[in-house]
Amino acid sequence: MSAEDTARTVRAGRRTVRIHRPRKVLFPGGGGAREYTKGDLVDYHRAVAPFMLPHLRGRPLMLERHPDGIGGPTFMQKNTPASYPEWITRVEVAKEGGTVCHTVCDDTATLLYLVDQASITLHRWLSRAGPGRAIDRPDRLVFDLDPSRDDFGTVREAARLLGELLDELNLPSALMTTGSRGLHVIVPLAGDHDVDEVLAFSHEVADTLAEAHPDRLTTAARKKDRGDRLYLDVQRNAYAQTAVAPCTVRALPGAPVATPFSRDQLDDSELHARRWTVADALDQLRTDPWAGLPRRGRALGPARRRLEALRGRPSGPGERRRDPATAIG
């Protein structure tokens, strides 16, 4: 039996998880990128579990699996296979014409089991299931800042502009590299509004910002209509859509990680979408970059009224609408 085929057992809380072929290379090295094995990913996830699990608990997942490493076939898994251990949490949610039984990662043992299944990237719902929770009422809102090319300067600028607008709306927000090309701006919500209300609000915020900066930003869904402008993508806020989870690894050379960071770090000249990897993401997480984020999210009612006032929406006869460009500069 080769060393690659030797299994490894890992203790995680009250459970022991068997890791098959821990020396199997999932991220080949070369071209300046470091090689990572399945065992390396197990060690990374054990270390970041205290930081990662609060962002996963109760949330249906879509698993991005790469059984033969990042150079092999990829498949996206929503339904939980019957072969998964019974102790792994599942949640059945409605879809058009039926239901889907999603995996939920509530503990370290589940996280390591998913790594053993070569689930390299975890995509989470923006709402939670469970007692007192409604799966159609998100507690997160996400703006995905997607540049037209690999130009992080435009992403940095858009993040500042969006952060300023959210400040005006009195909505605390958090920043996260995607580990790919752009950033996510995440707004914690109280979970008081259904997914259609949240999606409509996110569209209006993005439209307001794009109208104020039409040469730099766009909400055009079709790539051919965007030109060189950065796309303010809010479609992840629709029902059953997902966003990459904080601390998750992306299936790209060097194993970049979707990593939380502080607004002050926007000025860091070394910041880019793949700034942190499996090698150093833990150091960044230990700085507690989201320390100032309120424990409870906000309701959207007050923010919606502030946005309407900012856009100069008529609230009575004879009142005029302001130009968003002059309203938010």
Express each pLDDT in 239-274 by its tens digit. Answer: 999 999 999 999 999 999 999 999 999 999 899 999
Alpha carbons 210 and 195: distance in angstroms, whole number: 22
User: Is 1 or 19 the better-scoring residue by pLDDT?
Assistant: 19
> Which of the four pLDDT bands, split at 50, 70 and 90, describes residue 150?
confident
Please check whether residue 173 is in contact with residue 187, taking contact to mean a CB–CB distance below 8 angstroms: yes
Confidence class for position 316, pLDDT limits 50, 70, 90: very low
pLDDT of residue 328: 60
Chain mean pLDDT for the chain: 93
Closest residue by Cα to residue 165 from 132, 135, 208: 208
Q: What is the pLDDT of residues 12-65, one digit of tens each?
A: 999 999 999 999 999 999 999 999 999 999 999 999 999 999 999 999 999 999
The alpha carbons of the chain give a radius of gyration, in whole angstroms, of: 21
pLDDT band at 123 (very low <50, low <70, confident <90, very high): very high
Give the model confidence (pLDDT) of 173-216 as tens digits.
999 999 999 999 999 999 999 999 999 999 999 999 999 999 99
Contacts of 180 (CB under 8 A, 6+ apart): 250, 252, 256, 273, 274
**pLDDT in the model for residue 268:** 94
Query: What is the model's pTM?
Result: 0.93
pLDDT score recorded for residue 5: 65
- Closest by CA to 40, choosing from 326, 300, 255, 195, is 255
Q: Quick one: average pLDDT of 122-126?
A: 98
> Do residues 62 and 102 make contact, with C-beta atoms less than 8 angstroms apart?
yes
Average the pLDDT over 76-94 and give the result.
97
* pLDDT at position 324: 53
pLDDT at 85 over 90: yes
Q: What is the pLDDT of residue 6?
A: 85
The predicted model gives 61-88 an average pLDDT of 97
Of the pLDDT bands very low, low, confident and very high (cuts 50, 70, 90), residue 105 is very high
* pLDDT of 326 higher than 60: no
C-beta neighbour count of 190 within 10 angstroms = 13
Strands 183-188 and 140-146: antiparallel
What is the per-residue pLDDT for 79? 97
pLDDT at 141 over 70: yes
% pLDDT > 90, the chain: 88
Residue whose tokens read 């019957």: 82
Residue 312: pLDDT band with limits 50, 70, 90? confident
What six digits make up the tokens of 265? Answer: 């770090």
pLDDT at 167 over 50: yes
Domain annotation for the chain: domains and CATH numbers: 3-133 (3.90.920.10)
What is the residue whose two structure tokens read 């249906």? 60
Residue 325 has pLDDT above 80, yes or no: no
Count of CB atoms within 10 A of residue 294's CB?
A: 8
CA atoms within 13 A on the CB side of 151: 12
Cα 284 to Cα 108, 274, 320, distances in angstroms:
20, 13, 48
> From residue 16, how far is each of 7, 12, 171 by CA, in Å?
12, 6, 42
